[in-house]
Each structure stands twice: as C-alpha cells, then as structure tokens.
C-alpha cells in the first residue's frame, strides 16, 4: 500500500513539473502539444511491448521445462492468467515481464538464470515478474515515460524559442520570462528523469513484496536476488538496450560508469532487507 501511494505521489509530481514547464515555456497549448507528441511516441512501444522486447532479445517461447512449470504452478495457485513464457539465449542470469495487460503478458528469463537458481529461487523470481503483470506496471511505466517525454519536448521548444529571441508564451497563458525559461529548461528535464526513475524503483519494491506473497516465502526471492546481483556484476549482459534496462529484475547496466548513479532499481541490500523483514 505504501509503495502504491508513493507511486501516485510521484506521478502527481511529474504532472506538476509538466504544468510548470508548460506554463513557463509553451503555455497550456504548448504543454498539450508536447504531451500528445510524447504519447504518440510511447503508445506503440506500450501496445506492442511484448513483441518488440522479445524480438530485441531473440526470445524463444517455451511450453515445457522447469521455467514453464514454475510459472504455470504460480498462476494455478494464485488464480492468475497464464502468460506466454520465453527463454532468452543469454548466459547472464536475469528476467523480465512485459505486455500491455494480463491477457497479453509475457514473462521471460535468460538461460543463465535457470542454470544458476534452485527451483524455489526461480519461483521467487517469476512470482516477482507475475506481480509486475498483476499490477500493470508496464502501463504505469509507459505513462511516466510519456509525461517525462513531454517535459523533454517542452525543454526543446524552449531552446528554439530562446534561439529565435522569443520570451515564451504570453501572460494570459502563464508564460515566463527568459530567465525562468532558462532555469526551467535546465532543471525540469533532469527532475522529470529522476522522478521517472523513482517511479521505477517504487514499482520494484512493490513487485518484490507481491512476488513474495505469490510464491509464499520471501526467502526464495531474497536468496535469488543475492545470486543475481553477484552474477550480473561478474559478467554483465551484452547488447542491452538502455530503454529496456528498467524491465529486468536486476539492473543489467549495473557497474557501467555514471549510469549507476541514476538507477532504475533500488539498492539490492534494501530489497533483501525488506524481504527478510516480511518473513
């Protein structure tokens, strides 16, 4: 419940940032145009997310084996819609879920995760992914990305306005002066990015808790997360698309320079601590 409230608060904060930068740079009309543009850019990736991401990572659908059996058992036990199950041909252990709703959901895991984890640990991981599906986290992430994208578009509009000597929108629409535009263009996109990442971290905490409840034992997931974190530091995934990194259960980009400072994932020690506290 607390993480859900936090997500609502963060989404509201993103909306406020959009309204502020819209008033400073483009007025109400500019904010609407930017939101529409960002929505068009994101709706395709949201609607076809299952096909796009699976094709990106060369996933192969499976209908038998331990991975499939674990997902099937979790769905039957918790009365969930059975998603399609895919194996990703990578040795680095990781997993993700995607799809616009439970009826079009996909859960996927790399070959490495099946080799590394016990059946109970794998159950914890797939329960985490099913929790993402159950709570429609792909939709939440897409809405956050759309609002953050609109803010970036508005900042670009402000750059062009300053380049051609325009001071923003008129007073009736709440336009700001050049100084306000400059400050807004610099800090609003950065703030939006940080809030978007905070939304992602909040959903990871919620999926950890939901996954622990679905599989019936928080220690399953806690133990798996420790192993996954260690393995991904030792041999990070190759050919990872930055735009999809937030989908994985552990950050496949961890340890890659400054990216670790702007993580879409919560600290692993805190995730494990919360799970162990549940037990």
Residues annotated as catalytic are 129
d(CA 275, CA 279): 7
Query: Which long-range contacts (C-beta less than 8 Å, at least 24 apart) are formed by 178-182?
Result: 180/24, 181/24, 181/25
With vertex at residue 226, the alpha carbon angle to CA 1 and CA 91, rounded to the nearest 5 degrees, is: 115
d(CA 207, CA 133): 9
**Conformational region of residue 67, where left means phi above 0, alpha means psi within -120 to 50, and beta covers everything else:** alpha
Q: Give the rounded distance of the alpha carbon of 227 from its chain centre.
A: 21
Would you tell me the crossing angle of helices 268-278 and 178-215 to the nearest 10 degrees?
40
Q: Which of 13, 10, 18 is nearest to 39 (CA)?
A: 18
H or E element that contains 161: helix 137-163
Whether 95 and 175 have beta carbons less than 8 Å apart is answered as no
Q: Which of 136, 127, 90, 85 is nearest to 106 (CA)?
A: 85
H or E element that contains 60: strand 60-61
Q: Give the rounded distance of the alpha carbon of 266 from its chain centre.
A: 12
Question: Which residues carry a binding-site annotation?
Answer: 128, 132, 204
Residue with structure tokens 């929108």? 169
Question: Which residues carry a binding-site annotation for Zn(2+)?
Answer: 128, 132, 204
């Amino acid at each position: 419940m607390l993480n859900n409230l936090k997500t609502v608060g963060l989404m509201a904060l993103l909306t406020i940032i959009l309204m502020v930068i819209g008033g400073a740079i483009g007025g109400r009309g500019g904010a609407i145009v930017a939101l529409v543009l960002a929505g068009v850019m994101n709706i395709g990736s949201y609607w076809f997310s299952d096909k796009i991401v699976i094709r990106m990572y060369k996933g192969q659908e499976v209908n038998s084996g331990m991975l499939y059996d674990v997902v099937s058992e979790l769905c039957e036990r918790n009365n969930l819609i059975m998603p399609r199950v895919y194996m990703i041909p990578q040795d680095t252990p990781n997993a993700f879920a995607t799809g616009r709703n439970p009826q079009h959901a996909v859960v996927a895991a790399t070959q490495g995760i099946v080799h590394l984890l016990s059946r109970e640990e794998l159950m914890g991981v797939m329960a985490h992914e099913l929790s993402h599906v159950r709570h429609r986290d792909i939709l939440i992430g897409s809405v956050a990305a759309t609002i953050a994208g609109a803010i970036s578009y508005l900042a670009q509009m402000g750059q062009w306005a300053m380049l051609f000597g325009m001071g923003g929108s008129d007073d009736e629409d709440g336009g700001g002066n050049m100084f306000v535009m400059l400050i807004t263009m610099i800090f609003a996109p950065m703030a939006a990015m940080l809030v978007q990442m905070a939304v992602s971290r909040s959903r990871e905490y919620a999926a950890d808790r939901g996954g622990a409840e679905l599989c019936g034992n928080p220690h399953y997931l806690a133990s798996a997360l420790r192993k996954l974190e260690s393995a991904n530091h030792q041999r990070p995934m190759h050919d990872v698309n930055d735009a999809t990194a937030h989908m994985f259960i552990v950050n496949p980009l961890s340890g890659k320079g400054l990216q670790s400072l702007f993580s879409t994932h919560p600290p692993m020690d805190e995730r494990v601590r919360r799970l162990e506290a549940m037990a």
